[in-house]
Amino acid sequence: MSEVKPRLTIGGDFELTTLNYGDPQQLAKLTHGFEGTWTSSGRSALALVLQQLVTRGINHVHLPSYLCESIIAPIQALSLDYSFYPVDSSLTAHPEPPAGAAVLIINYFGWLNPALIDWQETPPEFTLIEDCCQALLSGWNRHSGSAHQIILSPRKFAGTPLGGWCNMRSDRVADDQAINDAFRQSLTARLLRGAYLSDKTAPVDSRIESMYLSILAGVESFLDENPTNTSLPDTALRLIAGTDWNSIAERRRNNWLVLHEQLRNQLQPIFETLPDDVVPLGYAVRVGDRDRLREQLAKRRIFCPVHWPLPEQVNRTKFPQSAELADTALTLPIDQRYTSDDMSRLAEAIADTLS
């Protein structure tokens, strides 16, 4: 008889069980040798890029209609104009920007956007911003990083309490009290979650779970409300440098392949193959009754994020394919915390729910 493990969990916020510090000089590998600036988050990295573009007279940002609402926050905070363009069911961008605009293209779920092939040589009247926040460990460097702007977010791939990056040179602010507080809160909550989940046989304690979830939600609210605060503590940078990104990439790719083998005939994967230069954010699928499946999995302590609900600024009627993606897309966790056995457990839970 197998041991009962009430706290066994798949998905959810990244926890920390140890603190590994590294030399920030090693982060050049993560940015493929491109110079830039480390910030508190991906959205603050975008804010830094936009602030620099404003000085060049750019005041309009052309956005994909399938996007995270947090992308809009720094644009609104800087009082910039913005518009949306279609994204088709294969997640290919179809921008038609007004003259003089900045065009933001997202590499979804780790896969490089096919539209970037057409934008490798950006027309001089436009500025390209490549959002690699979901493609941190993928081969985004195959495009010329000096020819356009790039933003990254290590927080989507590991338990780094804070962190974002852009290839825009600026002086990093390391001593901001509000950001330092947010860093300590995020670190504390992740360590608390790590200690709590380490004893999988213990009963679920909703009081502890609510505590760390509330702290992490507060940190995200702070980052949402302060998208132009680009500072990052030195300790946060050292934690990013101390993360084993190579093993993370290997485990994610292996888990994606295991899950794909077991689920590709049961669900509708958004991507059918895993190119050599892709490290996936998760196993992205389309599910007609997405919310029911997600709810049933949560009852088994399998927590799957939605990327993303459609922001209220996006017109559903004008962008039906983005609306459909927002209503049906579900990201199954395949990150480095989990083994092949965990992926099989996830696949079995989905099969039981769908049967």
Residue 157: which residues within 8 A CB-CB, separation 6 or more? 136, 137, 245, 248, 252, 279, 281, 335
pLDDT of residue 171: 77
pLDDT of residue 104: 97
CA nearest neighbour of 30 among 162, 171, 128, 139:
139
Domain segments of the chain: what residues?
A: 10-16+175-231, 24-166, 245-354
Give tens-digit pLDDT for 269-280: 999 999 999 999
Work out the percent of the chain whose per-residue pLDDT is above 90: 90
Give tens-digit pLDDT for 164-177: 999 998 877 777 99
Would the pLDDT of 229 be above 60?
yes
pLDDT of residue 123: 78
Mean pLDDT of 34-60: 95
CA nearest neighbour of 281 among 8, 7, 9, 11:
11
Average pLDDT in the chain: 94
pLDDT category of residue 194 using cuts at 50, 70 and 90: very high
What number does CATH give the domain 24-166?
3.40.640.10
Give tens-digit pLDDT for 288-314: 999 999 999 999 999 999 999 999 999
Mean pLDDT of 330-352: 97
Mean pLDDT of 75-89: 97
pLDDT of residue 11: 98
Give tens-digit pLDDT for 96-113: 999 999 999 999 999 999
Q: What does the DSSP assignment read for 219-237?
A: HHHHHHH-TT-----HHHH
Would the pLDDT of 143 be above 70?
no
Cβ atoms 278, 110 nearer than 8 A:
yes
Neighbours of 270 (CB within 10 A): 20
Would the pLDDT of 117 be above 90?
no
Would the pLDDT of 3 be above 70?
no
Mean pLDDT of 137-164: 89
Would the pLDDT of 40 be above 60?
yes
Q: How far apart are CA 112 and CA 126, in angstroms?
A: 20
pLDDT category of residue 1 using cuts at 50, 70 and 90: very low
pLDDT category of residue 147 using cuts at 50, 70 and 90: low
Six-digit token pair at 151? 């933003």
pLDDT of residue 4: 61
Handedness of CA 171, 174, 179, 182 (dihedral sign): positive
Would the pLDDT of 328 be above 80?
yes
Mean pLDDT of 131-154: 87
Name the one residue in this structure whose structure tokens are 């309490």.
161
Q: How far apart are CA 318 and CA 314, in angstroms?
A: 8
pLDDT of residue 146: 57
Q: What are phi and psi of 69, to 5 degrees?
A: -60, -25
Q: How far apart are CA 334 and CA 249, in angstroms?
A: 11
Name the CATH superfamily housing domain 245-354.
Aspartate Aminotransferase, domain 1 (3.90.1150.10)
pLDDT of residue 2: 52
Q: How far apart are CA 82 and CA 60, in angstroms?
A: 5
